Amino acid sequence: MNKIYFAGALALLSGVAACSEQPNANREATSAPAEQSATVPTDAVYSATGEVTGIAGETVTISHGPVPDLQWPAMTMEFRAPSSDMLATVAAGDQVAFAFRQADGGYVLTSLTKN
């Protein structure tokens, strides 16, 4: 009978020991991306060229070429304009040069010029 209690206690302690190691492993794994993101400048401005594919309110969709500074391939994505006035001179189909920065979980135009 004592052997059963001993085996049960040993199993319980093994489980507790395994659980106590898990949070440390997670903490190390999640701290690395935070350290990496701290080195990325949040006020950096990036440039690209592309074609306007749509405009809705203060948002413009641009099919743009690669953005080497961000290691982005060519893609189509939405950018917010600081105001709809910035978008008044462009229309779908226009070739544009633009600059943008990351803000509020998205990308905001800092300049937009029709080519």
* pTM of this structure: 0.65
Domain holding 50, by residue range, is: 45-114
pLDDT for position 104: 85
53 and 24 assigned to the same domain: no
pLDDT for position 46: 98
34 and 54 assigned to the same domain: no
First to last CA, the chain: 86
Q: Is 99 left (phi over 0), alpha (psi -120 to 50) or beta?
A: beta
| Cα–Cα nearest to 64, from 51, 46, 79, 83 | 51
17 and 71 assigned to the same domain: no
64 and 15 assigned to the same domain: no
97 and 55 assigned to the same domain: yes
Please report which confidence band the pLDDT of residue 2 belongs to, taking 50, 70 and 90 as the band edges.
Answer: low
Please report which confidence band the pLDDT of residue 21 belongs to, taking 50, 70 and 90 as the band edges.
Answer: very low
Which DSSP letter does residue 85 get? G
pLDDT for position 1: 53
Give the mean pLDDT of the chain: 79
34 and 76 assigned to the same domain: no
50 and 106 assigned to the same domain: yes
CA dihedral of 52, 99, 48, 72, whole degrees rounded to 10: -100
What's the Cα-to-Cα distance from 11 to each of 5, 6, 24, 62, rounded to whole Å?
10, 9, 21, 59
pLDDT for position 55: 98
22 and 53 assigned to the same domain: no
27 and 69 assigned to the same domain: no
Higher-scoring residue by pLDDT: 28, 109: 109
Residue 101 pLDDT exceeds 90:
yes
34 and 53 assigned to the same domain: no
CATH number at residue 94: 2.40.50.320
103 and 78 assigned to the same domain: yes
Number of domains in the chain: 2
| Cα–Cα nearest to 83, from 62, 102, 114, 108 | 108
